[in-house]
Amino acid sequence: MTALLTVEDLTVDLKVGDEMRTVLKQVSFSVGEGQTVGLVGESGSGKSMTVRAVSRLLPEGAAVTGSVRFGDRDVLDLRGDALRRYRASDVAMVFQDARAHTNPVRRIGDFLTEAMILNGKTGRRQAEATAVELLEAVGVHDAERRMRQYPHELSGGLLQRVMIAASVAARPRLILADEPTTALDVTTQAEVMAILKRMQQEYGMAMLFITHDLELAGSICDETVVLYAGEVVEQQRSAQLHRDPLHPYTAALVQARPDIHRRSERLLSVPGHPTTAYEAPAGCAFAPRCRFAQDRCRAEKPALEALDAAGLSRCLRADELRGALLAPVEAAADPVPATGLAAGPADEEATR
Amino acid sequence: MTSTTAIATARPAARTPRLRILPGIGITGQIAFWTVIAVALLAAIGPMFVQVDPNAVDLEYAYYPPSPWYPLGADASGRDILSRLIVGSRTALLGPLAVVTMATFLGTLLGLVAVWFGGWVDATIVRVIDAIFAFPGILVAILATALFGPGLLAATIALAIAYTPYIARIVRSAALRERNLPYISALQVQGRHGFAISARHILPNVSGLIVANATLCFGLALIDLAALSFIGFGVQPPTADWGAMVGGGMSGILQGEPGEALAASLLIVITVAAVNTLGDRLVQRSENRA
Amino acid sequence: MTAPLLQVQGLTKHYGTGRARAVAVDGVSFELEAGGSLGIVGESGSGKTTTARMVMGLERPTSGTILYRGEDRTAPPRSAREWKRRGREIQIVFQDPYTSLDRKQTVGDCLAEVVRLHFPGDRAQLRSRVEELADLVGLDERQLRALPRALSGGQRQRVAIARALAAQPQLLILDEAVSALDVSIQAQILNLLADIRAEQGIGFLFISHDLAVIRQICDDTIVMRYGEVVEQGPTERVLDSPEHPYTRLLRDSVPQDGWDPLAGPARF
């Protein structure tokens, strides 16, 4: 498989007040032609910033190093027309909040046909016919009527379908989906995901899928990249993520999430809270919250290393812990005392 | 803990030294802030250093040019312009201060009451506010002086009433936003009294906005009061006042002696500009923090 | 025989009148025993939050009755005194940890204000009660002195829970109380809630859209759609062998191991 998108050593610093804060640290991954790659992380992990860097939508004053390559082009160097072409026809974005990304005073039809007409290849009539086809393809009934409606007349799920229709209109080679279903109900999420997957297969598009939901990433992505504090901590085939996590953080996410099929005696409670790259301690960023952490984890910065053929893990103990990460929590290792009510050490540290 | 080292290296070592008072209003805001302080000091302690009687008429020295005895010259009646400016700063600043204090108190009270009780109380207050808003402040003040005779008191009270709707509207909309936040519901279901919730929770959270807008009102009130004195309805002679001095200096301009009117107008412009800029920045700052 | 902790009978809420009338909740009935844990699950517009707000007294039911230990609590309280009395029976924790605390008040003051309201006492008593509450939800001395902005989402939600518990209610309504939290934090709060229920014997009315969270925390579950109850029963039974097709659809829409969106029922 040839790589369509290659992100290498991507480091991003944002200007906050008069200081620069690191949000991404040497992030590397690639997305192959037609492949779906998931980016999973909690708040502060930098998953949204990665997408912004790829789509060249970083806030002003951001310092970026490393490279983002799309095919044979360097995305970070694109200017003017080349950048416009990249955004218009190579990549397309689907956002979490579809409502905020549509103009409330413009009709759905205008929203869909605008880009087609601007690109100058089609006339209005032709563009409208294409838009109706697209709407029908994403499961919107009564497409002719919807074309004349305004965004506020459509439900969240319906509007997200319109967004998907708009993003696939130019037949991009890569879809950047930033939590596209987070704001939706679970049944609507299933419908929207089905449409997204079907469009992707039909048009042979690749997808970079950002989510906080490990289960969702596990079921719809080929590969999953797990981010913590602005760094890649694990990367492997999605199907294996739940059964054989390679990094303690991924394992903690799996165990912390309640199971719909059975009630656990007690959820694995990860002490403290997610941190950003800027606040991360020296050594392993996850060490203060990790139940497997040793002294050297706090002192030494682990590298992202391959674990035989399984995937990549940024953990000093990855080899010795392989297969044991999902072991039930022993009483002694439980970071929460027996009464279960004291704040973990990282909790205290975060309150400054 | 090991993390401290990482944090220390992540932050830039050198920090530019900055004024610690009122951060977040920018350089222009800082200049405006210190200008306001300077003008306030002039009014507070300036008159203590004035040696000559600012009201002493000596027609021999009419339009006397600037000199060691008359640093800014003398006016048409031979009175020292500098001492009149310094002494006049008190009336010029105290008037708007009284207007703003009264308007802010009344406006805040009305805004909070409207939000807490809602329903017909809110509807009534909003109607009254809109009605008062329809009258320009200066017109109300002229009307009041016509009824109660010229002077600072009637004009100040009239302007205070005219400015109340401005504050009340802002407080009402900010408090309404606050009222709909879950933390207010949480206090309500605990059985906290509406009065306590308004005074202890809603008020502190909208106070930044109130102060900022009161500052803006101060600048406007200063202009209104100066204008009243200029046309002769406000401060009465021989009391020194900036607005009255611009009015009194008008005849001087016609005779090629613009010194008095110019000096007084300049002070008004500087003060209003500084106060308005500061108010503007304070509004921005409280919006940024909200 | 003693009356159940909470008994809701034919609860209905309409908004508007005439042709513009919208039915938010339509004839909802359920019971909750003391110390029990009842989940209300549904999607947006199902009426689950409106139901919770009516039980709390924040909304007036159009019809139906709400009984707390057999006493009528259908009409919302009309005075602060009445709220206070009812606040010692039922309390609520809201979804958004960022707006459910006063941003100008320290955590300690926030708890002290509520404790003082219900249990007047001297400074030492007040202090020890606040510390007890903080200890119960896992907040330390330093966090008590902090303003909400210095706290993470999970810590703020701990404060909101402590504030609700200050009145020593017998019933705690949790309105999507863990939905806005990161997964790792959500687990902390769910464990904390389980501990509190075990130690204090408080009944939970747990509103959520998340079936896995409902399974973890609720003994019984009500599934709502369009303001109506479509299914109710023990959580295990409802989730393992749902009787209503909507419950099944809800369950099968949750991404899980082996889930394929394309294999789902044809819905479009």
Kindly tell me if the per-residue pLDDT of B73 is higher than 90. Answer: no
Q: What is the arithmetic mean of pLDDT over B108-115?
A: 95
Are A174 and A91 in contact by the 8 Å Cβ rule? The answer is: yes
Out of C104, C117, C160, name the one closest to residue B191 (CB). C117
- Please tell me the predicted confidence (pLDDT) of residue C69: 94
Q: Which of B245, B249, B213, B229 has its CA nearest to residue B141?
A: B229
Whole-number percent of chain C with pLDDT over 90: 81
Q: What is the pLDDT of residue A99?
A: 86
pTM over 0.90? The answer is no
* More confidently predicted of C34 and A19: C34
Where is pLDDT greater, at A292 or A265? A292
Predicted pLDDT at B239? 84
Q: Report percent pLDDT > 90 for chain B.
A: 36
Separation of alpha carbons B59 and B75, rounded Å: 9
Taking the CA of residue A269 and the nearest CA in chain B, the distance in Å comes to 22
Q: What's the gap in Å between the CA of A225 and the closest CA on chain C?
A: 17
What's the mean per-residue pLDDT of chain C? 92
Model confidence at A4: pLDDT above 80: yes
Could you say which of B182, B194, B205 has the minimum Cβ distance to residue C80? B194
Interface test with A, best of C139, C155, C188, C192 (most A CBs within 10 A): C188
Closest residue to A260, CB basis, from C151, C187, C212: C212
A282 in B contact zone (CB under 8 Å)? yes
Q: Are strands A231-237 and A223-228 parallel, antiparallel or unpaired?
A: antiparallel
Residue C16, CA atoms < 13 Å, CB-side half-sphere: 7
Give the per-residue pLDDT at A351.
35
Chains in contact with A, where contact means 3 or more Cβ–Cβ distances below 8 Å, are B, C
Q: Residue C17, class by beta-carbon neighbours within 10 Å (0-12 exposed, 13-18 middle, 19+ buried)?
A: exposed
**What is the mean pLDDT of the segment spanning C246-258?**
89
Choose between B183 and A16: higher pLDDT: B183
Q: Could A190 and C253 be called an inter-chain contact, meaning their C-beta atoms sit closer than 8 Å?
A: yes
User: For position C265, what pLDDT does the model report?
Assistant: 54
Distance from CA of A126 to the nearest CA of B (A): 47
| pLDDT value of residue C53 | 95
**Chain B residue with Cα closest to A282:** B6
Contact in structure between A75 and A64 (CB atoms under 8 Å) = no
- How high is the mean pLDDT of chain A? 86
| For residue B12, pLDDT beyond 60 | no
Subunits next to B (3 or more Cβ pairs <8 Å) are A, C
Distance between CA A260 and CA A255 in Å, rounded?
12
* Residues B189, C57: C-beta atoms closer than 8 Å: yes
Q: Summarize pLDDT for C50-62 with one digit per residue, the tens.
A: 999 999 999 999 9
Confidence of residue B70 (pLDDT cuts 50, 70, 90): confident
Q: What is the pLDDT of residue A5?
A: 95
Residues C48-74: b if buried by 16+ CB within 10 A, e if exposed: bbbbbbbbbbbbebbebebbbeeeebb
CA distance C2 to chain A (A): 30
**Span A20-33, mean pLDDT?**
93
**Could you read off the pLDDT of C195-221 as tens digits, one per residue?**
999 999 999 999 999 999 999 999 999
Question: What is the CB neighbour count within 10 angstroms for residue B51?
Answer: 6
User: Measured between beta carbons, which residues in chain C are less than 8 angstroms from residue A258?
Assistant: 187, 190, 212-213, 215-216
Q: Predicted confidence band at A1 (pLDDT cuts at 50, 70, 90)?
A: low
- pLDDT band at B4; cut points 50, 70, 90: very low
Confidence of residue A338 (pLDDT cuts 50, 70, 90): very low
Whether the Cβ atoms of residue A28 and residue A10 lie closer than 8 Å to each other? yes
Sort out which chain B residues have CB atoms less than 8 A from A20's CB and list them.
12
Interface residues from chain B to A (CB-CB < 8 Å) = 1-3, 5-7, 10-12, 16
According to DSSP, the β-strands at A19-32 and C171-175 are: unpaired
B6 to A280: CB separation less than 8 angstroms, yes or no:
yes
Provide mean pLDDT across the span A192-213. Answer: 91
Residue in chain A closest to C137 (alpha carbons) equals A341
And the tokens for B128?
């009254």
Q: What is the pLDDT of residue C68?
A: 95
Please indicate whether residue C255 or residue B183 has the higher confidence score (pLDDT): B183
Nearest to A19 among B5, B6, B12 (CB): B12
Least reliable range by pLDDT among A120-124, B140-144, B185-189, C99-103 = A120-124
Contacts of B6 in chain A (CB under 8 A): 280-282
User: Is the distance from CB of A42 to CB of C188 less than 8 angstroms?
Assistant: no
pLDDT of residue A334: 41
